[in-house]
A and B are shown apart, each in its own frame.
Chain A
Amino acid sequence: MTLLQPLGLLALLAVPAIVVLHLFRRQLRQRRAAGLFLFAADRLIADAGRTRTRLLHTPSLWLECLAATLLALWLAGPSFGGARARHLVFVLDDSASMQAGAQARAAAAVRQQVSALGGGGVVTLLRTGPRPAVLAGPAARPGDALAALAGWRPVQRRHDPGPALDLARELAGDDGEITFCTDGEPVVPPADCDVLAFGAALPNAAILTAQRLPRAGGEELHLRFGGFGRLDAVAFTVSSGEQALLTRELPLPDGFADAVVALPPGTRTVRVDLRADALPIDDTAWLLPLPERVVAVCDLLPAELRRQLALDRVLAAIPGVRHEVDAPRAQLLLTDRPGALRPGQCEVVLAPGAPDGERDAWRGPFVIDRTHPWLLGVQLQGVVWLAGRRELPGNVLVAAGAQALLSEEVLDAGRRLWLDLDARAGNLVRAPDWPVLWANVVERARLEVAGAEANEVLLGEEARYRRALLAGGPDTEITFVAPDGTRVAAAPGRVVGFVPTTPGLHRVLGRDGTELAQIAARFCDPAESDLRDLTTGSWPRTAPLRRAGAAVRDDGSERRWLALVVLLCLAADWWWLHRRSP
């Protein structure tokens, strides 16, 4: 015998509970009697108050304990061996092309098989994908499986169904029957599964590329459309809010068409729609305004040192930079001595040593870690670097001889860039490498600006939001709201993310429901948009079922018998408790 549900073990706790109740509270059958003093020696409890007495072996106690035990067994889902009930395992192709009619036909076929399953049968529903998921089950009741089937929406890009089929084999065991529902002919039909294809070859057009790029005086929309099948042209509409900006039809000479649309200044969310066709999921794209990610720089350097380093001039030349006087709110700190950092902050420490210390003028050659993001494009050709004689902490990024000139110290709460540079002499500050170095540092710090890391993602990719982590800030509690209203609370952490499964505009709400950001999600996969190879057919399994014999038995018979016995016990208990003395 096997127990399929651990809930039954918990239900066994009812047995000691019943015993305790019988110890403290009894309701016995009554009888009028004379000469009660003749029974005084056999009485069970004291006259004053209710107290615990020895356990009475009444039929009520045994009936209730038996009912509780059988109920626990019923909840545990017992199986007494022998032939198992029929177990159908359906693997549903979750690729987006199933939306072109195959999804409805596959769901109808699954419903028909489940309805014909009969009593006692169980169903497992799996969804394919890079990470296969269980929609119902394992071994769910047919009603639950059908309810889960109603909520199935295939939206994924082209993927391998192999992991889902492997999972199905594990869940099916020796006697499960696996059916793979897809929309095309499998490359190699699996031998142990029935394959049912419900697709149909149809022409389809799709948005392949949709980009919103800044241009002088405004923005431009760069679009690329693909046509699969016998399509001569593609018609599309560009709109912003309720206002249609453009409607155009483009020829598809080689199956592709490109369009560039100039957007008026101040245009907010742009929506691009294709004319309705076989697969609607690839016909719409949303493009949000480019996010403004300004790096806050807190300059704590002495004025003379700042002048020597020409930082005002350098930072003014880098776009998206602002000065911040409150150090905890800055992403980049400039200082001549290290301080405490918050998560995500970068601190540049100009530390050539004591002002009257010994200095060395280094002319090269310099050893440069060119793979580091801070040093991309830094050459140091012809540079004379005046540095103090000191050791820098962290990983050396630039060195001359045995002297480290620039290093990175990775801390628990940020990074620190150590720069051994005396700007009173040498020519590094006037060299072209100087603004390149700072541009790299600023761009690296820009990644730490709070907000959505990208405001446009493709379905199946992760959308991320970076918190500011300021006490009492609006992003201490974050909720992701899908276009269909589904809400998901974000986990703790500085960077939180979710994987959109619905195309459209997803909102990131902070505490008090304030909208922190919008993220547009669209579907793009030319392989899925190409419906020309879809077909309808069936490929039966070639390997026989591994279970012995073909007879199947109603697996719920044990549970039904148990339920009947439980009801009989309860009825007998009720009769016993309500029986009165004659």
Chain B
Amino acid sequence: MIETRALTKTFGLQPVLRGVDLTIARGERVALMGPNGAGKTTLLRIIATLARASFGAVRVAGHSLPHEAEQVRRRLGVIAHHPLLYGDLTAEENLRFYARMYGLADDGAHLGRLLERVGLAARRRDLVRTFSRGMQQRLAIARGLLHSPDVLLLDEPYTGLDPAGAQLLDEVVRAATARGCTILMTTHDLEHGFALAQRAVILVRGKIVFSARADEMTPAEFARHYEQHTGARP
């Protein structure tokens, strides 16, 4: 579902990604971890069509980038630490705006169900700028799921979420993979990421240095690998 081959990205002379080979199967949940500056967000932005690779091949949902970016975006959902919302619109207006941009019918019931799901039905007519950080992040979850994407990219999605919000996101992620959605998530929270993922990948200085199935090792073993490869205590 997601495939990168020899993916390289440089900013000026500075290499950020150095030949990343990554294959993620349909319905798989992969956590991408690594220290700051490892290139996690850059990798996600290239897969999300927000940036172009300097070299290498990227395929998402059977479409190659950058030539078929529009088809990729149609099947892609993104939940990032920035909620990507408009503070001067209400929660419902934000979802309606994005629904129109994704070519969905004006279906108030669908938006209502999503708002109900993320616990914001009672605040649907309130301006988003009056929401707390956690509430904005919940609305961002609804925005990411609006068009029922086949691939979900999560970039530090737990930022600002309270425990109930984090639990909601865990359940959304598990439910999405249960219906065949492929998930690639970056996180600094090793324990949480490892517990949620089916496969954990460590990226250091733009290269994948470790990849293992989560059911083949304990969290403590993974933490040891992380420390060994990054030099940082988790």
Say if A and B assemble together: no
- Chain A residues in the interface with B (C-beta under 8 A): none
